[in-house]
Amino acid sequence: MEMTEEQGLEILRRITAAYPQFDLDGPVGEERIELWVERLLKMPYEPVLHKLNHYIDAHHFPPTIAQIAVELPLDNGFLKQQQVWAAQVKAERESGRMKTFLDYLPEELRGTYSRLLEGTHSDK
């Protein structure tokens, strides 16, 4: 979830409070606010705040945007689909109705493939 403008300004207030040299006054300060908020709005608030807090604990100078940046995870539709499939397979196994790949073959191939499998089992 992306950060709100108010949350972006809160990040800037926190940096300013921790680092007096992080100047937000005057025309350069206004540009700094615009730039930072523009970039921060594309990031999740809580992880950025967490990263900033750790940065403040370890550094004497204010951070750059890159030093506290956190990217939102990409929406991975395929991963979600795999999770759905895994849940379906688990439900099938638990119900005792587990299908084999033969159940998904067209009828005309099912008989042929079944005979081939029987032939391999009889060789053992």
Residues in the chain: 124
The more confidently predicted of residues 118 and 8 is 8
Mean per-residue pLDDT for 105-117? 78
- pLDDT higher than 50, residue 124: no
- Nearest Cα residue to 45 out of 87, 9, 90: 9
**Backbone φ and ψ of 21, nearest 5°:** -75, -10
Mean per-residue pLDDT for 60-73? 92
pTM surpassing 0.85? no
- Mean pLDDT, the chain, integer: 87
Distance of CA 123 to the CA centre of its chain: 50
Class of domain 5-68: mainly alpha
Looking up tokens 């397979």 gives 89
CATH 1.10.8 range(s) for the chain read 5-68
- pLDDT higher than 70, residue 54: yes
Mean per-residue pLDDT for 28-42? 95
